[in-house]
Structure 1
């Protein structure tokens, strides 16, 4: 005689509810071996315990009840193999998405910490910066037209057919040419672009060379950034360096991240060489 188990015993064994087992019975996923005609209690035998263990394992792997029922109704290795291959591809895609989300979270945490560090008087310094890539449009425009040109560069990039993803995520860069920097003209830009994870193709590809840069953190409203440019240029002269190229400017924290203007941080980088 087969040993039978009550629905409560099965539920306790697998740490699931009796309501779940009743639902599995209703949809034909796991029917009891017998139903007591007097008490209407469901009873299960050993083979159904093994089937329930497989159902739970497949469910933990992310299979839908419909997929599980389809497999359980045929129970063929080729069917299970097909399901597992599909699930593995799906999980791989989800893992890549989660890694991307984690990297984005790490980026913003880094930016928040950088903002705090810069507030602790680490404002002006000479740093060795690595090589970087950008999608860049050389164009002259005034600071008063900045919003218009930001919209333009995004639109241009999207229309360019570039498949490489912009880095964290599409940070705008601005440039002031060397002559303007030397002449203390800080309100007219010579180009605008987007930082990218790797080299883009075509005429808008810009390689930002590695090397020594004088860097400054501009903290506060953007319209006062000319003051920080002046301080940085003075810092370059006082430390016996000279300007060696166009500036690179990018927003680290702005109104998209915080509503507090005192927490806005724009980083200015000017390539330099020793006199």
Structure 2
């Protein structure tokens, strides 16, 4: 048997952490001396503790690790393998995003050395004024906090695809996200996920067509804020105003894009020509 101190030293985990792990049911001491409360761990528990450390290194939460240890005990290799594959994809996505950011940073360094302003790339973002057609969309609307957005596409769009398959509906376009909240709130934002379909059934609605300021974001979703800023600037400068919630159409499925820079997203701002209040006031005074 190993004392909690010896077990702590071998596994590289503090005794405080080991006590916390026991509290949440992650790993319990094999024995506790009833007289002095000293905790002891068996040699066979070293492997379990090393497994916990390994899964933590893969950025699994303690709750996830607890479940995964139960799967291993039940010899559920399928569940364990699926969880590992999901985590591998998450980490790969983060690596791709970091690689993209590193490349952008290198470009900025070169530009600054040449005397080119860092934000000059905004001038290269093109904006078009387009007429869109109305669409019948199958939708789900959720209040999402900032941490939920990364799961939004996979969870809610996938659910819509499943409903289309189950109800034998006809898909007519790419996935859409519509942002209804008037301002950003980290605690929760009114977000609608949608897929254009042919059939008008329960759970569908009309997404009106009309005049829109449109731009295209090429690259990871982190670039979208620049496109939104450019669109808002264009709307103001060209004498338009927003009349409805902005929305995005995902031309490239993020799950199928070979690299972050291959992703293409269209952004639409429904607009109308702004009334010139100063002219109206002047006319009314004549």
Which structure's CA Rg is the greater one? Answer: 1
TM (norm. structure 1) is: 0.47
